[in-house]
Amino acid sequence: MRRIRTGVVGYGLGGRVFHAPFVSAVAALELTAIVQRTGNSASEAYPGTPLLRSFDELLASDVELVCISTPSNTHYPLSKQALLAGKHVVCDKPVTVTYAEAEDLEQTAKAQGVLLLPFQNRRWDGDFLTLKSLIESRKTGRTVTLDSRFDRYRPLAKPGAWRDDAEGGGGLVYDIGPHLIDQAVALFGRPGRVWADVRRDRDEQGNTADGFDLHLWFAGADGREITVRTGSTVLAVNPGPRYRLQGTQGSYVKFGLDPQEPAIVAGAKVPHMDSPELWLDEPETAWGTLTVVPDPAEPAKVEPSQLPTKRGDYRNFYSNVADAILGKAEQAVSPRAAYHVARIIELALESARTGRVAPVDAATW
């Protein structure tokens, strides 16, 4: 088997939790370098992997795939530099902070004959896979509304953290927004219009938004409209549901987040994909509740049940990356996904500024 030489750029939370462990777990990928500007934690975790101090040094090497996990406002220049150097690129979300930049990267990758792969790992969250299966099976009937939230409690901004700094491309709209937007688009396609409220919720006023609500309206397959309400805040001491799906014949309510990130943060090791060890079942106590109405003529007769959460697995993102580079499969997350996220964020910010609903022009999609 030919192994694809891979370098991870950045060893903060993203590189340490979402990239290096999952690259290392895929047989067709070889973690051959990590770029960490300061500190030696990458070498301590991966003692056999060379530690580099500069991005240019990585590009001068023989790596084929570059995985970028750096502050948001660096994604575009670093991705473009890597693409022009003939490297395939996995870039963390948001790939860019403007849709013009996203389109430029897409065209650059095409011109260079390499792949741009937006890192939308949460398409492989177990709860999202469960939700997607429910919608496709129509077990809850025709989908009417979906509430999709990613709330946490972080009442104090972290000093010096780029995620809390507008100059670093920070703020929840750019941090959590890409996950929620990408999932909605993956489920329902192009929204027809967008409305948003973007705000600062903390008492300690930073220079970037730490709360938002974003509403998207989609045309369903049967011509009826689907309303998706997404949002996030850092002031949810007792968060509500992660998902609340309402259909004509039932509902699905799911609390809690996918267990993969907290498991790795707590020290769990991601098993190699060739290992018989399973990764990672959600405990039964965290399963969502599916409530169906067998006969709509008798709406009081409902059948609730705990629905097992499908197994989430971020390894499958990187397995697809390898297969796409080797020509064995189409890439699961296309470069256009980065454009769609950036476009909707720009429309959301426009809506927040004007207080109006912003239409999504099909010609710009």
Which SS3 state, helix, strand or coil, does residue 228 take? Answer: strand
In the chain, list all ranges with CATH 3.40.50.720.
4-121+317-334
Nearest-angstrom CA–CA distance, 341 and 216: 12
Q: What is the pLDDT of residue 161?
A: 82
Q: What is the pLDDT of residue 164?
A: 83
In order of 22, 56, 66, 92, 261, the CA distances from 19 in angstroms are 5, 20, 11, 9, 11
Q: How high is the mean pLDDT in each 10-residue block of the chain (365 residues)?
A: 95 97 98 97 96 98 98 96 98 96 98 98 98 97 98 89 80 96 98 97 84 97 94 97 98 98 97 95 97 95 98 98 98 98 97 98 92
Which SS3 state, helix, strand or coil, does residue 31 take? Answer: strand
In the chain, list all ranges with CATH 3.30.360.10.
122-312+345-354
Nearest-angstrom CA–CA distance, 16 and 20: 6
Nearest-angstrom CA–CA distance, 241 and 244: 6
Quote the DSSP letter at residue 147: E
Long-range CB contact pairs, 302-308, < 8 A, 24+: 307/130, 307/134, 307/252, 308/130, 308/284
CATH number of 4-121+317-334: 3.40.50.720
CATH number of 122-312+345-354: 3.30.360.10
Q: What is the pLDDT of residue 205?
A: 65
102's tokens: 């996203």
